[in-house]
Structures are given as structure tokens and as C-alpha cells.
Amino acid sequence: MGTFDREEAARLQRHLHSHLPSDPALRVKTLESLVVERGLVAPETLDAWIEAYSEHIGPKRGAHVVARAWTDPDFRVRLLEDAGEAIKEFGFEGSATGHLKAVENTADQHNVVVCTLCSCYPFALLGMSPPWYKSAEYRARTVREPRVVLAEFGVTLEDGVGVRVWDSTAELRYLVVPERPEGTEGWDAARLAAIVTRNSMIGTQRDLNPEAA
């Protein structure tokens, strides 16, 4: 009879678990299999929704709004005055973009958004919210020590740059309009949209990289 090797058993267990998806992923896969098996939804419909949020709705919608604001001064004014009304020109309006306010980063002002509830997130413009955005720690720490939190995201602000934290609610959501980076003069809106990131529209990124296009 072989002897039990505790260390070898632990190693095998770690190896097996390293090849399994996370618990949330397993639950999602199980639910997906069940609804498809019971005929509640077609696999093609699920694929279409995933593609919509990853390729179309995602942060790409918000990026096009920002790029338009950079290239169209009149639209920029309308966006800052009434963002919910301005984005109707794109056909993006809906419950997730209702009561939307755009706030603009400048050379001496940086904006960052936190959220009281997950429903505050304008997912029709930014796609699904990242896990850290929904955490109580992110909201509490950003309100209390915004510069420290921003530094953890790689955003180091000079002393002369002020920080304003906007707390989204179900009645009022926010979209940060980042500064247009230098070296993008003459670019069209489509090329500009390619460098706008989700985090820059939340405010946890400040400097956009023109080479990303």
C-alpha cells in the first residue's frame, strides 16, 4: 500500500485548481448552459449580446462622444451644457444615459467618478463597469484620498492640478471628457476615438497615448 504524501497531494490540488476558471466564471457558464438547454434563449442571441457590449456598446460609444467633443466645438458646448440631450445625436439615449452630465478635464483640473450604486454607471456609453469600480473601497478611498488612489492607477498630478470627485447616483451619472493629447492635430474623429479609454472617461487615467491608435 502506498503512503500518503501530503505535500504531493497539495501540489496536485493547486495544479488542478490553476486550470479551472474562477467561481463566477463557472456559475456564469452553468447558467448559460441551463438557459440554452431549456430553450429560454438561443446561443446566437447570447453571442449577439456579448458582441454588442464588447464591440459596439462598450467604451467605444463613449469614445466617439469624446472624439466628437474634441473635433466639434459646438458639440462640445452642447455636451457640457446638457450631455443627455447632446448624445441623442448619436442615438445612444436610454435609461443608462439619462440625467447624464459631462465634466471636462483641463490643464489645472482633473475629474474622477465614483458610484453609490452599480446602476449609476452609464454602461450604454462605457460598457460594463470594472469590478474595482463597484467596490466600496474604491468609492470610500477616492472620496477620502483621491490623489493617493489616482497614483495607484498611475495618475500622478502636479500640485497645481485640482481634483474633483463626482459621486454618481441613479438620478445623475457622469462622463469625464479627457484632455485631447498633443500630437493629434489633424486627426479625424474615428482615429481620435481609438485612443480614448474607459478609464479615462471614469477619471482613473489622465494622459492618453496617441500611439494607441
pLDDT class for 17, splitting at 50, 70, 90? low
Strands annotated E in the chain: 100-104, 109-115, 162-168, 173-177
Q: Is the pLDDT of residue 5 over 70?
A: no
Over range 173-187, report the average pLDDT. Answer: 95
Residue 110, strand partner residues: 163
- The gap from C-alpha 29 to its chain's centroid, in whole angstroms, comes to 23
Q: Is the pLDDT of residue 15 over 70?
A: no
pLDDT class for 143, splitting at 50, 70, 90? very high
Express each pLDDT in 75-104 by its tens digit: 999 999 999 999 999 887 665 566 899 999
**C-beta atoms surrounding 179 within 10 Å:** 16
Over range 11-35, report the average pLDDT. Answer: 66
Please provide the average confidence, as pLDDT, over all residues in the chain: 85
pLDDT class for 13, splitting at 50, 70, 90? low
CATH architecture of 43-212: Alpha-Beta Complex (3.90)
pLDDT class for 142, splitting at 50, 70, 90? very high
pLDDT score of 52: 66
Q: Which of 69, 67, 60 is nearest to 123 (CA)?
A: 60
Indicate the range of 31-45, 77-91, 104-118, 161-175 predicted with least confidence: 31-45
Q: Tell me 54's DSSP state.
A: I
What per-residue string of b and e applies to 29-48 under the rule 16 or more CB within 10 Å gives b? eeeeeeeeeeeeeeeeeeee
Helix (H) or strand (E) holding 93: none
pLDDT score of 56: 61
pLDDT class for 1, splitting at 50, 70, 90? very low
pLDDT class for 213, splitting at 50, 70, 90? low
| Residues catalogued as catalytic | 115, 118-120
Over range 168-187, report the average pLDDT. Answer: 93
Over range 141-146, report the average pLDDT. Answer: 95
Domain map (residue ranges) of the chain: 43-212
